[in-house]
C-alpha cells in the first residue's frame, strides 16, 4: 500500500494481482484501481482473480498460442468482456437493493458484499435476485465508474504468447542470459507493453470504461522470452526506466540472480526484504505491485517460478 493511502483511515490497497500456471501455460494479471473511484479496489481484485481463472481454462485447440494469434486475442477479449459485465451487473444489483453511498463503502453493507466476492462465498450469479433491471441499467455507468481499474497481463506458453494491456502500468518480456554470476537480461531482447495515458497528467483508461475495447492492446512475444515482469504504475516508478515505458534493466539484473535460483516459497519473502515499504515509499506514494515469472529451462512441464510483492 502506498503511503498516500496508508495515511487514510479505512483506506484500501487498490492494486491486485493473480497468477496461475498449468503445465507450460502461465496466466498473470496485475490491476490498479483508480484512486478517484470509490470501489476501485473491488474492481481490481475481481478483474484480476476472475479473468486469470477464466484464461487459465483456455481450450487445448488454442495451443500453441502463437499458432492461433487471432483466435487467442478474441478469446481474451471475450472473457474480459464477460467478466467485466458480470462484475458491474453484480455490484449494480447489490447497490440497487442497498442504495450504497459512493462516499462510504461501508454504508449499506458494501464492505461485507466485497468481502464475500473476494472469498467466493457470494457468486456473481447469486446477486441476480430481487433486482430492478431497469434501475440497474440506468446506474450501470455510474457503478462502472466506481469500479475503475487498469489491466496489465500475460498469457504465455512454450511457443511464446501475449502481453495484454488497458491503461497505465508496464509489462515486459525478455530472454535471460545465464552466466557464472547468475541470470541477467540478454541485451536487446526486451519486448515491452508501455502505459497508455491520455492528454493530461495522471489520465489513463480503465477496464470498466464503455470504450474499453478501443484501449485493449496485445503485444506478441516469442519463445525466446523466458521472463515476464508485470507492474502497476507505482512499481514502474522504480522498476521501469526513466520514462517508465520499458524495464529498468539495472534494477532487474540486481534481482535476477536471486530470483532465478531461490526455491519457490522464498521468492515473495525475498522481494519483500529487498523492497521493504519504507524503501518503496521514498520513490512513490502510490500502491506498488510487481509480478515476476520465469520459465525453468530444460523442463517445459514444470510450472514457472513466480513472485510478487
The string of pLDDT tens digits covering residues 14-47 is 999 999 999 999 999 999 999 889 899 999 999 9
C-alpha dist (Å) from residue 1 to 49, 203, 240, 276, 284: 19, 21, 18, 11, 10
Residue 226 — pLDDT band, cuts 50, 70, 90? very high
Return phi, psi of residue 261, to 5°. -120, -15
Residue 153 has pLDDT above 90, yes or no: yes
Using 50, 70 and 90 to split pLDDT, how confident is the model at 101? confident
Confidence check: pLDDT of 248 > 90:
yes
Report the percent of the chain where pLDDT is more than 70: 86
Q: How far apart are CA 292 and CA 305, in angstroms?
A: 8
* Sheet strands (E) in 109-246: 151-157, 160-166, 170-174, 176-179, 182-185, 191-193, 217-221, 227-231
- Whole-model pTM: value is 0.88
Residue 159: pLDDT over 50? yes
Asked if residue 309 has pLDDT above 70, the reply is no
Characterise 165 by phi-psi region: left (phi > 0), alpha (psi -120 to 50), beta (else): beta
Following CA atoms 224, 54, 68, 195 in sequence, which dihedral angle do they give, to the nearest 10 degrees?
-60
Amino acid at each position: 500500500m502506498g503511503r498516500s493511502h496508508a495515511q487514510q483511515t479505512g483506506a484500501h490497497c487498490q492494486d491486485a494481482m493473480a497468477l496461475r500456471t498449468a503445465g507450460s501455460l502461465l496466466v498473470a494479471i496485475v490491476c490498479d484501481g483508480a484512486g478517484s473511484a470509490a470501489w476501485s479496489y473491488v474492481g481490481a481484485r475481481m478483474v484480476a482473480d476472475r479473468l486469470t481463472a477464466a484464461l487459465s481454462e483456455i481450450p487445448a485447440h488454442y495451443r500453441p498460442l502463437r499458432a492461433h494469434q487471432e483466435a487467442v486475442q478474441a478469446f481474451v477479449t471475450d472473457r474480459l468482456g464477460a467478466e467485466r459485465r458480470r462484475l458491474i451487473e453484480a455490484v449494480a444489483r447489490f447497490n440497487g437493493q442497498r442504495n450504497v453511498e459512493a462516499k462510504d463503502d461501508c454504508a449499506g453493507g458494501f464492505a461485507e458484499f466485497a468481502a464475500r466476492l473476494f472469498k467466493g462465498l457470494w457468486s456473481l450469479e447469486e446477486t441476480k435476485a430481487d433486482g430492478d433491471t431497469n434501475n440497474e441499467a440506468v446506474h450501470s455507468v455510474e457503478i462502472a465508474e466506481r469500479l475503475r481499474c487498469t489491466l496489465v497481463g500475460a498469457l504465455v506458453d512454450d511457443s511464446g504468447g501475449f502481453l495484454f494491456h488497458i491503461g497505465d502500468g508496464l509489462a515486459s518480456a525478455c530472454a535471460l542470459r545465464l552466466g557464472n554470476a547468475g541470470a541477467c537480461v540478454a541485451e536487446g531482447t526486451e519486448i515491452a507493453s508501455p502505459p497508455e495515458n491520455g492528454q493530461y497528467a495522471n489520465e489513463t483508461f480503465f477496464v470498466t470504461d464503455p470504450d474499453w475495447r478501443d484501449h485493449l492492446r496485445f503485444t506478441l512475444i516469442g519463445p525466446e522470452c523466458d521472463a515476464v515482469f508485470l507492474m502497476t504504475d507505482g512499481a514502474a516508478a522504480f522498476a521501469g526506466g526513466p520514462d517508465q515505458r520499458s524495464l529498468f534493466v539495472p534494477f532487474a539484473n540486481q534481482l535476477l540472480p536471486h530470483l532465478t535460483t531461490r526455491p519457490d516459497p522464498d521468492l515473495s519473502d525475498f522481494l519483500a526484504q529487498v523492497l521493504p515499504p519504507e524503501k518503496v515509499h521514498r520513490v512513490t506514494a502510490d500502491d506498488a505491485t510487481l509480478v515476476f515469472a520465469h520459465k525453468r529451462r530444460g523442463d517445459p512441464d514444470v510450472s514457472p517460478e513466480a513472485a510478487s510483492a
